[in-house]
Chain A
Amino acid sequence: AQSVSQHNHHVILSEAASLELGCNYSYGGTVNLFWYVQYPGQHLQLLLKYFSGDPLVKGIKGFEAEFIKSKFSFNLRKPSVQWSDTAEYFCAVNPTGGYNKLIFGAGTRLAVHP
């Protein structure tokens, strides 16, 4: 069955530290890849997405993610986090060719301390 694994359930960082959140998926075909973010008390919203082309994609608020096909990975990065990045981050996969059925990872809770 298709699945998405996020390596860390909780991450604690200080402001200005660099961030990398791991995401691996299991699916043999082509996929669309997403990172969604949920700030405290808010709804899930799209952070960035990859469909094709340049495997390094840039999203909002200085986030980027790199698709490495050989590793089935789509890790999220930010060179310098801010307190306002405190949120829960969800990696999601959508196998291409079918309807929109996002398969989510379990999420990573990021806490950034001032």
Chain B
Amino acid sequence: DAMVIQNPRYQVTQFGKPVTLSCSQTLNHNVMYWYQQKSSQAPKLLFHYYDKDFNNEADTPDNFQSRRPNTSFCFLDIRSPGLGDAAMYLCATSFDIGGEEKLFFGSGTQLSVL
């Protein structure tokens, strides 16, 4: 059974048109992460939530925002997608924030920008 669920699997948007990607978890984990993975590149952490505390990576563009209305759900908002934002977006969770924690990943949302 899927524990970290991302919808949709594929998302197409237009240049400059806001888009929201969603992630839900059934693990009741405290921490939720969003990673961006461009083709043939390493997944790169954009930000994470520890409970309701939002932590943005220093090099995450302002164009990317996130919301976590409750423990189970987390959203990635791209305010004005550019062609360079086309990528796989991975949501992950962990029980706690420590560096030894195992991450549980969703299957990802592949975003295309036309």
Measured CB to CB, the residues of A under 8 A from B are 4, 9, 32, 36, 41-46, 49, 51, 90, 94-107
Is there a chain A Cβ closer than 8 Å to B79's Cβ? Answer: no
Measured CB to CB, the residues of B under 8 A from A are 4, 31, 33, 40-45, 48, 50, 55, 57, 90, 92, 94, 96-103, 105-108
Please report the C-alpha to C-alpha distance between residue A26 and residue B40 in the assembled complex, in whole angstroms. 20
Q: Would you give the shortest CB distance from B53 to chain A, in whole angstroms?
A: 10
26 A-B pairs in the complex with CB atoms less than 8 angstroms apart: A4-B42, A36-B103, A41-B107, A43-B108, A44-B43, A44-B103, A44-B105, A46-B103, A49-B100, A51-B100, A90-B42, A96-B99, A99-B97, A99-B98, A99-B99, A100-B48, A100-B94, A100-B96, A100-B99, A101-B99, A104-B42, A105-B42, A106-B41, A106-B42, A107-B40, A107-B42
Known A44-B90, A106-B40, A106-B41; judge A100-B4 contact (CB<8 A): no
Contact A100 B107 (CB under 8 A): no
Residues from chain B with a CB closer than 8 A to the CB of A99 are 48, 50, 55, 97-99
Contact B31 A100 (CB under 8 A): yes
Nearest A residue to B45 via CB reads A101
Residues from chain A with a CB closer than 8 A to the CB of B90 are 44
Residues from chain B with a CB closer than 8 A to the CB of A41 are 107
Please report the C-alpha to C-alpha distance between residue A90 and residue B90 in the assembled complex, in whole angstroms. 14
Contact B101 A100 (CB under 8 A): yes
Q: Would you give the shortest CB distance from A104 to chain B, in whole angstroms?
A: 4
> Which of B33, B42, B90, B103 is packed against the most chain A CB atoms within 10 Å?
B42
Residues from chain A with a CB closer than 8 A to the CB of B96 are 100
Contact B103 A102 (CB under 8 A): yes
Please report the C-alpha to C-alpha distance between residue A106 and residue B41 in the assembled complex, in whole angstroms. 5
Nearest B residue to A31 via CB reads B99
Nearest B residue to A109 via CB reads B40
Residues from chain A with a CB closer than 8 A to the CB of B106 are 43
Q: Would you give the shortest CB distance from A66 to chain B, in whole angstroms?
A: 19
- A90-B43, A94-B100 known; 20 new pairs, CB 8 Å cut-off, are A42-B107, A43-B4, A43-B107, A44-B90, A44-B92, A44-B103, A45-B105, A46-B103, A51-B100, A94-B99, A100-B48, A100-B96, A100-B97, A100-B98, A101-B45, A101-B57, A102-B45, A106-B41, A106-B42, A107-B40
